[in-house]
Each structure stands twice: as structure tokens, then as C-alpha cells.
Structure 1
């Protein structure tokens, strides 16, 4: 019988992501919302997966051993929580995450973290394609401003909204932090 609870998947919440040099971002409350969800998941004893990006580029702030690659202090994994390291945006590719979830009969995922338009979107797409019941928490994710392919500047809010629209319905359900807690608390 499969577990009814969901795994909380926290993507790339590393020190390097809080560096203002990365650029304009949206959702300044995302870290607080992630912490709130993490606190509730821990209280309930539900599974937590921490995903950490380890760069292959020596000058990257996410290079192994550099401070930017470390987890943010408020989100450091506890010993019983699973840690996945990745070198590309998708947390499933070459990481063993899918096998780890299947071994525990976990079918539901709640995805939070950064960046909505990169690792969050890549991971949520793959999770949906693999058949996981996937939820992305809109107010517990964030991204950065960038130019689109036509060269038009897009704010972080615009990039975030488009990434969530790309996922909604096809790969994942988009929910708020409150909705995620209500939805998954009712399953236990």
C-alpha cells in the first residue's frame, strides 16, 4: 500500500541563491514560506528531500566546497532527511531520486525552492511525466528577471508567472503554502 503523505522537495535553497548579485528576484517571502512548510513536514514526520546544485563550472558560487554551495542555515537538512545532489536543473536526472521515492512508495510531491524557471520547472515537469502527483507551491518558489528569446526584458514576477503557467495542469497543480498544508494534512 502506498504512503498517503507527500514528500516535500526543497530545491537549491543554498547560500549562493541569496546573493543579491544574482539579480532581481520575486517573492521575497519564499524562504519564510519554505521554512513554515518544512516545520510542518517535520512535525508530521513526513519525508523531506533537500536538493543541492553542485556546479561543474569552477568559477561558480555552487562549486563544491564553496560557501555558496552550502544549504541556507535555516534549511539545513536533519540527519533523517534525504539529500540529492545534482549538476543539471532536473533533480531526477542521474540522482537516484526516482528510485528513492519508489522504494518508499511515495507518489505525491510538494515542490518548493528556486528557481521557478529553471530547476523547479525542470524537476516538476519530470515528476509529472514520471506519474507523480506533483504540486508546486507558488509562494514558496522564486525566480529571477531575464530577457526573453526576442530580447524583451521580463520581470521576475513575469518569468515566475509564465513558469507556473507552463506547469499548471499538464505536469503539476499550482498551490499556495496554505493550500498545500490543508491538502496534505487531510490525507493523514
Structure 2
């Protein structure tokens, strides 16, 4: 792949609440390290970074605004000059002005990382692809949780992650490793 000089790194929901034990077992224990490697690279190369923060409408959510879980983890805190998008649904494009901001800035290539793979990452990547953005998802810089399917069958976080990436790859986005993104620059 060719990483454009203005490719935007979109980091989804790296808030304190995502570490809450009640969310259950997760995959990709090194996902945050991969995200931080990408974030460091984006900052060093002065590319745009967009931090997405979920502000839940549900009081029992780990992202409910009136408690600490809604806050960014310190290691993912936005720096001056980096954009902040606040959303109330999984899709970072829905009612946030993100598309308009990207178009006004002339940004056409998006690299998406964060959580959860099957939820906000997949939802945002689908919309990005549908809107015509050159969309990339770093598979090892995302994670998700064990989840039951519609019929009540339990699936491991690894299976949920793999299925979600399979839904995206080739239709809405290109799925690659973080190392591939760093190597090609």
C-alpha cells in the first residue's frame, strides 16, 4: 500500500471504560501497543490523527459521560492540533461532522484502529468504505470480546474479530497488519 502524506489515523474509543472487566474476555492483548506504535509514527510524520470518543446514552454503559470510564486513557489522550470526534452510536460518521471535516481537509485515506472490532470499528469502516474513502483497518491494532451470536452460540473474541474483519476486507476496507502500514512508509 502507499500511505499518503495526509492519511488520517482514526483511533476509536480508547477510553478507560474499555478496560472494565465486566466487558469479558478479549483478544489481541498487544492491540494497544500496535495502536501506540501507529500513533507515534503519525505524530512523528505530522499526519492527521483523529480521536473518537464514545459518549453513551445508556447509564449502565462503561462510556456513560458522568463517570471516569468515558475519559481517554492517558496514553491515548489527544494532543494539541489533533481532532476529537464525539459520537453517541458506534459509527463515528453518524451525526458527528467527520465526513465534512475529512472532505474539507482533502483527506481521502483513512487508517482505522481501536475498539471494538465487531462494533465501532466495523461500523465506522463500513461507512468510510461506502462514502468512497480509501479505508484500511489494522487488524492487530483492534480488539473485541467474546460474544454470543443471534442463536445463542458462544464465540471467542478471536472468532468474533476474524468474522468482523472478514466482513470488511475487500468490500468496505483493506485489512492489514500495523507492521505493513509502518513498513510501507
Q: Could you list the runs of 4 or more consecutive aligned residues of structure 1 that deviate by over 4 angstroms after TM superposition? A: none
| Segment of structure 1 superposing worse, 63-72 or 78-87 | 63-72
Q: What is the deviation of 1:59?
A: 2.9
Q: Answer yes or no: is 1:169 the counterpart of 2:180.
A: no
Give the number of equivalent residue pairs.
Answer: 182
Give the secondary-structure state (helix, strand or coil) at the position aligned to 2:139.
strand
TM-score (norm 2): 0.96
**Which residue in 1 is equivalent to 2:91?**
90
Give the secondary-structure state (helix, strand or coil) at the position aligned to 2:150.
coil
**Is the Cα–Cα contact under 8 Å of residues 20 and 62 in structure 2 kept in the other structure?**
no
Q: Deviations over 1:49-87 (max 9, x none)?
A: 000000111232212131100001100000100000000
**Which residue in 2 is equivalent to 1:105?**
106
**Which residue in 2 is equivalent to 1:116?**
117
Give the secondary-structure state (helix, strand or coil) at the position aligned to 2:136.
strand
Instruction: Quote the Cα distance in structure 1 between the aligned partners of 2:143 and 2:21.
Output: 14
Give the secondary-structure state (helix, strand or coil) at the position aligned to 1:42.
helix
Q: Deviations over 1:109-149 (max 9, x none)?
A: 00000000000000000000000000000000000111111
**Which residue in 1 is equivalent to 2:76?**
75
**Is the Cα–Cα contact under 8 Å of residues 15 and 70 in structure 2 kept in the other structure?**
yes
What are the ranges of 5 or more consecutive residues in structure 1 without an aligned counterpart? none
Q: Answer yes or no: is 1:16 the counterpart of 2:17.
A: yes
* CA RMSD in angstroms, aligned pairs only: 1.0
TM-score (norm 1): 0.94
Instruction: Quote the Cα distance in structure 1 between the aligned partners of 2:32 and 2:59.
Output: 27
Q: Deviations over 1:129-171 (max 9, x none)?
A: 0000000000000001111112110000000000000000000
**Which residue in 2 is equivalent to 1:131?**
132
Distance 1:149 1:59, change over 3 A: closer
What are the ranges of 5 or more consecutive residues in structure 2 without an aligned counterpart? none
